[in-house]
A and B are shown apart, each in its own frame.
Chain A
Amino acid sequence: MADHGQHSVPHAPAGEFDDMELVHPKTFLGKYVWSQDAKVIAIQYGVTAIAIGLVALVLSILMRLQLGFPNTFALIDPASYLQYVTMHGMIMVVYLLTALFLGAFGNYLIPLMCGARDMAFPYLNMLSYWFYLAAVLILMASFFVPGGATGAGWTLYPPQAISPGTPGIDGGILLMFASLSVFIAGFTMGGLNYVVTVLQARTRGMTLMRLPLTIWGIFMATVMALLAFPALLVAILMMLCDMLLGTSFFMPEMLNLGEQSGHEGGSPLLYQHLFWFFGHPEVYIVALPAFGIVSDILATHARKNIFGYRMMVWAIIIIGVLSFVVWAHHMFVSGMNPYFGFLFATTTLIIAVPTAIKVYNWVLTLWRGNIRMTVPMLFAIGFIFTFVNGGLSGLFLGNVTVDVPLADTYFVVGHFHMVMAVAPVLVVFGAIYHWYPKITGRMMDDTLGKVHFWVTFLGTYAIFYPMHFMGFAGVPRRYYGYGETAYIPDSIQTLNAFMSVAAIIVALVQLVFFYNLVRSYFHGRQAGPNPWQATTLEWQTEHTPPRHGNFGAELPVVYRWAYDYSVPGAKQDFLPQNMPPEAVEADDAAPRRSP
């Protein structure tokens, strides 16, 4: 159970891992390129993920240009449009969000917040990044092969992913398979590392129930990713066999633009089951780290303990487990046996309960708090609002009957962008503003941060909220153009133009963020070791930024949970996790509660 403040166990249980020997490199290359320091690897992951994310952002703008102003841009033909759709989705979900939360935040925060010197296997950790980089480069190469990148949709459903009529069936899809395989191999190296580090390398006194929720979120997400990604790997390898070796795992007897394809007896639905067995947990692989991080941002900036810590931990675990038994809600209208709908609608709606509890607990954390309206706090509140919206629209799609008219419409696009694109990205930004002072030793600019927040928060809502109404109106997704569709009113075109303008503005304001990021590195205010007066271990390091090995000669010893803010009777309004009970100063100045 959690130890709240003064109730903490007086003696600290021993750490489960011997102090490790680190390889201290001497050369510039060893320090910053072939680095085995989790913090440097985290930055490498972060920069690579954001760079590739920018490519995906540009692709989304190209899509919006076509949708908002159809038949204006000669560059965008139907093949290109489908390629943008596919690459945007795949990059954002896997190569940006998964890599950023687990590779970047995981690497930076797990050792620091657990009180470890580094990841359990630093060399493997380094290798993990280089595999990731290779995966990204292979993926980028697919834009430049004949026929271009694949346009099969990010779900890569067979038969169309490898059949004529779909762009990129020559080189593009092969490079997509190759890139994903390399990514999964690299992720497995990193993921095992995170799990072992959390389980084995926590410092003395850091029990599992004293871990900050950030670590719980990343840990659970990693466990899930280790179980889910193999399903994707086997699915794409089977499809590769169908494509190159003439097997028929997923390919039935069918025609390729009039010619018999020669396949026999495969099941396209089998692929969809495998894909969504990965794909649904993937949603939570992105969401759970965001849940964890936002919990810590809220507690720190509201100067208040997280509300219902144990419930929060169990909610993360329950969501993680349940997310493996809901996958077929993506397939309610896939042509699978419709009787599955009863089971999967039920499991899906059950998962809403722990998710709702998390939302309540975030709001209740602010309740009776003392809220400092910092930039990270703004992003955290923006997250709550966006996530509530996206979570509730999930109740439409998860409930099998309601899903039928809404599936494959813009309602789905609006829903998943709210819940697993905008919401986690708001957390990413909040987290960057929150931890930037630790990473660089300088504060990011507040005013620029606020401009960035307001335009991003309001702008994304303007893009994605109206999409739900297009979905009600039955506007199908993944359409290059709507032309003359009898039941789609012309006003939808006006709406599309509006959303496109909003998207362009949101994309442009990200330049403010990058300017802030770079400028603050050189000119930001000095942050000091703990500018937010936070309790968790990464703020208690001897040096800021922390050096290789994270902590000084001695690893910190943990005496309390991560949320001792505003503890009654203590002078300081926060008690760092490594502050011994005897060091806590009694609060003499404040009036006693009982005379």
Chain B
Amino acid sequence: MAIAIAVIVLAVGSVLFFFFSPWYLTPLASNWGAIDDTIQITLWVTGAVFLAVNLFLAYVIVRYRFNKRRRSQYDPENKSLEIWLTGLTTLGIAGLLAPGLVVWASFVAPPEDAHQVEVVGQQWHWSFRFPGEDGRFGSAHNRFIDERNPFGLIDDPVGQDDILITAPHLLLPVDRPVKMVLRSKDVLHNVKVANFRAKMDMVPGQTSYFWFTPTELGEYEIVCAQLCGIAHFAMRGRIEVVEQQTFDAWLAEQPTYAELAERAPGSPEAGEARYTSCAACHGAEGQGNQALNAPKLAGLDAWYLERQLELFRSGARGTHEEDIYGIQMRPFASMLPDRQAIADVAAYIETLPERPLQASLDAGDPERGARRYRTCANCHGQQGQGIRATNGPRLAGMPDWYLERQLQNFRQGIRGRHREDPYGNQMIEMAQVLVDEQAVSDVVAYIMTLPQPGGEMAAVTSAAREE
């Protein structure tokens, strides 16, 4: 009896839960209302079958409960009943399948007038490429990817006007069908925006695609929907659906492959003059000054310095009210007039001699920190040497008081929260791994045990040995 009641309550309750729970499809923002329709059809059909079977089951349990004086009906087969049930089920299944296949036929065939965007996945970032004025993508291949050619473009005249977007932020014009051409630099990824419904895996060594038409203006989060390693959950991006004019203006600002290739590298000589204003706090040799809360700069890579200076300058860093020292840094960064000035000063800092540092804190346990650090190592390197491909800056040789403060800031969202700081966003997610202040101290204590300048020598020789 109890089981009959349980079956009824669960069956009816499940259906009611569907109607009253706050969790359902995200608001639709693309043309794929047809996908939602197929979901609706499936819900109605399966919901009816679910109720019918379970309520009949409950009825049978009650009606034919044990009775000493009754015997079961001996009824091995009932051909007509079996044929009826098979027939009805087949019809129901066909009714579900048919609309599914019809919608699929349009899903696999992008419209002729769709414009194209290439989405490139890598551990754990997104980047994008537009075909430029000729409407054709230049050839690209993973084999040609290096630091100066992150998209792996082949020397192809068609590719010169391709527009490259390295930040994981994409704008799309509203009401224009778009074919997303997908590829991956490393492992599998899947570019997913819940509101668009459509998604597809990106597979290294081949391209895949899907298409949709954004129909609602707004901002949508990209998540990765195919397990891609340790920071899978933090592989985020953003698509803004805007009016055509806004899109055109934005696209015109983005650099083409040819423009990027022509950009002059930073000049250390020009940077040296600009560095004088930095030297007051950070020291003449970039050695840092704890009393002034100025971190060591020597040893940091130019790409990381450039990015941080850009963030300070644009207000994406150093604007949170609790980031006292970041706020102090902002006006100095704003003194740099343009991108070239930033590149110059970063290039100069790269030439500064690096000297090893002593630990100034002793609250952490490096052995416990070693285990915490295995998460960090994926982007910042086993030796904390920094990995450009993952946008993870160098940690080894940086002052512990600075690392600890930054980790605390990330944990609390004081640094990295700004929407124009995608790698900071990501670092907020990752810093949550450090569950308390002790964990922060431990991991910083471990980082202080990593080889400093001498360690870099060791890394070089081991790399040389591999070659």
Contacts and interface: CB of A to CB of B under 8 A. Distances in A.
B379 to A, nearest CB: 8
Interface stretch (A163-171, A433-441, A504-512): A163-171
B91 to A, nearest CB: 10
A259 B143 CA distance: 10
A473 B42 contact: no
A339 B229 CA distance: 29
Given A408-B226, A469-B21, A401 B72 contact: no
A234 interface: no
B433 A71 contact: yes
Contact of A399 (B81, B89, B97): B97
Given A159-B187, A165-B186, A333-B200, A388 B53 contact: yes
Interface stretch (A130-138, A487-495, A578-586): A487-495
Contact of A257 (B17, B67, B123): B123
Contacts of B135: none
B397 to A, nearest CB: 20
B60 A367 contact: yes
Contact of A366 (B61, B99, B104, B194): B61
B332 interface: no
B49 interface: yes
A469 B14 CA distance: 11
B361 interface: no
Contacts of B439: 74
Contacts of A568: 74
Contacts of A4: 76-77
B339 interface: no
Interface string B1-39: 101001100110010011001111110000000110011
Contacts of A305: 72, 74-76
A78 to B, nearest CB: 5
Contacts of A382: 3
Interface in B380-412: 387-390
A267 B188 CA distance: 11
B444 interface: no
Contacts of A350: 93
B64 A405 contact: no
A404 interface: yes
A253 B204 CA distance: 7
Interface stretch (A14-22, A178-186, A214-222, A371-379): A371-379
A405 B141 contact: no
A595 interface: no
B372 interface: yes
A74 B96 CA distance: 47
Given A268-B203, A303-B72, A492-B23, A404 B101 contact: no
Contact of B7 (A370, A385, A485, A495): A385
Contact of A373 (B7, B17, B65, B107): B65
Contacts of B10: 385, 458, 461
A378 B192 CA distance: 42
A153 B22 contact: no
A311 B46 CA distance: 23
Contacts of A334: 201, 203
Interface stretch (B159-167, B230-238, B267-275, B445-453): B230-238
Nearest to B439: A74
Given A254-B204, A370-B67, A338 B93 contact: no
Contacts of B81: 364
B217 interface: no
Interface in B126-147: 141-143, 145, 147
B199 to A, nearest CB: 6
A395 B57 contact: no
B378 interface: yes
Contacts of B245: none
Q: Interface centre among A257, A308, A473, by most B CB within 10 Å?
A: A257
A165 B230 contact: yes
B208 interface: yes
A309 interface: yes
A82 B230 contact: yes
Contact of B38 (A302, A381, A389, A399): A399
A345 B227 contact: no
A302 B26 contact: no
A563 B76 CA distance: 9
Interface residues on A, range: 35 or more
Contact of B143 (A260, A303, A484): A260
A367 B64 contact: yes
B122 interface: yes
B72 A304 contact: yes
Interface in B408-467: 428-430, 432-433, 435-436, 439
Given A78-B375, A370-B66, A473-B25, A307 B78 contact: yes
A481 B190 CA distance: 18
Contacts of A369: 60, 64, 72-73
Contacts of A151: 230
Interface in A298-355: 302-305, 307-311, 333-335, 338-339, 341-342, 345-346, 349-350, 352-353
Given A258-B387, A385-B7, A476-B192, A267 B206 contact: yes
A79 B375 contact: yes
Contacts of A486: 219-221
B263 interface: no
Contacts of A408: 190, 192, 199, 225-226
A405 B65 CA distance: 43
A565 interface: yes
A430 to B, nearest CB: 13
A337 B389 CA distance: 30
B314 interface: no
A120 to B, nearest CB: 31
A384 interface: yes
Nearest to B378: A165
Nearest to B373: A77
B313 interface: no
A266 interface: yes
Contact of A346 (B6, B101, B433): B101
A485 B54 contact: no
B149 interface: no
Contacts of B225: 333, 407-409, 476
A159 B204 CA distance: 9
Contacts of A267: 205-206
A99 interface: no
B23 A357 contact: no
B360 interface: no
Nearest to A153: B227
A349 B230 contact: no
18 contacts: A4-B77, A77-B375, A82-B232, A253-B141, A254-B184, A257-B123, A259-B389, A345-B100, A363-B57, A364-B81, A371-B60, A371-B66, A382-B3, A405-B35, A481-B429, A485-B221, A495-B23, A590-B71
Interface of B: 1, 3, 6-7, 10-11, 14, 17-18, 21-26, 34-35, 38-39, 42, 45-46, 49-50, 53-54, 56-57, 60-61, 64-67, 70-78, 81-82, 85-86, 89-90, 93, 96-97, 99-101, 103-105, 107-108, 122-124, 141-143, 145, 147, 182, 184-188, 190, 192, 194-195, 197-206, 208, 219-221, 223-234, 236, 371-372, 374-375, 378, 387-390, 428-430, 432-433, 435-436, 439
Interface of A: 2, 4-5, 70-74, 77-79, 82, 151-153, 157, 159-160, 163-167, 252-260, 265-269, 302-305, 307-311, 333-335, 338-339, 341-342, 345-346, 349-350, 352-353, 356-357, 359-360, 363-364, 366-373, 378, 381-382, 384-385, 388-389, 392-393, 395-396, 399-402, 404-405, 407-409, 454, 457-458, 461, 465-466, 469-470, 472-474, 476, 478-487, 489, 491-492, 495, 563, 565-568, 573, 590
Given A333-B201, A381-B57, 13 more contacts: A82-B230, A167-B374, A252-B206, A258-B388, A304-B73, A305-B72, A334-B203, A335-B208, A345-B97, A373-B66, A399-B38, A481-B233, A483-B432
